């Protein structure tokens, strides 16, 4: 039987795992591959977790961590890869057991996180194993400080000139394709993309700047 009491232990184990194998948003897949026991255990915990009686904040944090654990597990299992897309159906066909339910990564992202919580900051916490993803955190998300963590991850990406490219000379900003693919999430509150971004920017982007999107780099985020 699945037990909700496993959740604190899962968060603690996930936190230790991320601290050990993730640095500057990159993952040491080769080291994980050498000893799959840790990630196997976390992946199994994701599947067996019981969430029916826990608070929404705990569910939200769990699903974010679950997404990142499943991505790392599947890459490590099939490593070496040059891109997550090298594994057919990585996001939309392969199903994983998540808290007792069978679902794809896309279903986990959309049905368990984006639709229920309508929180665009989640896009900066979920890492899809690609170089162009917002950098994966080297810690687990925890319900008690989740808002702070999500703010920090959004701020980290949106103030990074290599991830969000502002060209003052041309009065243009080039955004990640994430803002094109998930536009409705960022403009849902009535804000434009730039207005949403400026909530987290130290140097605000003028509303008159043209918006473009740079090509997504699907190369593996490995170190």
pLDDT digits (tens, 9 = 90+) for 88-145: 999 999 999 999 999 999 999 999 999 999 999 999 999 999 999 999 999 999 999 9
**Number of H helices and number of E strands within the chain?**
10, 7
Note whether 35 and 10 are within 8 A (CB).
Answer: no
- Strands 26-27, 22-23: pairing is antiparallel
pLDDT digits (tens, 9 = 90+) for 41-74: 999 999 999 998 889 999 999 999 999 999 999 9
Residue 160 has pLDDT above 80, yes or no: yes
Q: Which residues pair with 174 in a beta bridge?
A: 165, 212
For the chain, what is the mean pLDDT? 96
Write down the pLDDT at residue 1.
46
Of the candidates 18, 35, 36, which has an alpha carbon nearest to the alpha carbon of residue 27?
18
| Boundaries of every domain in the chain | 1-223
**pTM, two decimal places:** 0.95
Of the candidates 160, 128, 130, which has an alpha carbon nearest to the alpha carbon of residue 221?
130
Residue 19 has pLDDT above 80, yes or no: yes
């Amino acid at each position: 039987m699945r037990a909700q009491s496993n959740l604190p232990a899962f968060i603690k184990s996930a936190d230790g795992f991320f601290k050990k194998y993730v640095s500057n948003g990159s993952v040491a897949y080769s080291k994980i591959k050498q000893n799959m026991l840790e990630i196997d255990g976390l992946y199994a915990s994701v599947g067996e977790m019981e969430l029916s009686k826990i608070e929404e904040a705990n569910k939200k944090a769990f699903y974010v961590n679950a997404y990142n654990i499943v991505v790392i597990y599947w890459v490590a299992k099939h490593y070496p890869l040059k891109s997550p897309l090298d594994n057919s159906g990585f996001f939309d066909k392969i199903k994983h057991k998540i808290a007792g339910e069978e679902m794809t990564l896309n279903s986990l992202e959309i049905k368990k996180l984006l639709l229920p919580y309508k929180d665009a900051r989640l896009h900066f916490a979920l890492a899809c194993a690609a170089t162009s993803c917002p950098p994966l955190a080297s810690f687990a998300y925890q319900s008690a400080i989740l808002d702070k963590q999500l703010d920090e991850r959004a701020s980290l990406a949106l103030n990074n000139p290599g991830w969000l490219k502002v060209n003052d000379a041309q009065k243009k900003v080039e955004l990640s394709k994430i803002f094109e693919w998930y536009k409705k999430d960022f403009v849902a509150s009535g804000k434009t993309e730039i207005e949403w971004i400026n909530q987290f920017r130290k140097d605000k982007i003028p509303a008159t700047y043209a918006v473009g999107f740079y090509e997504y780099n699907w190369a593996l985020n490995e170190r």
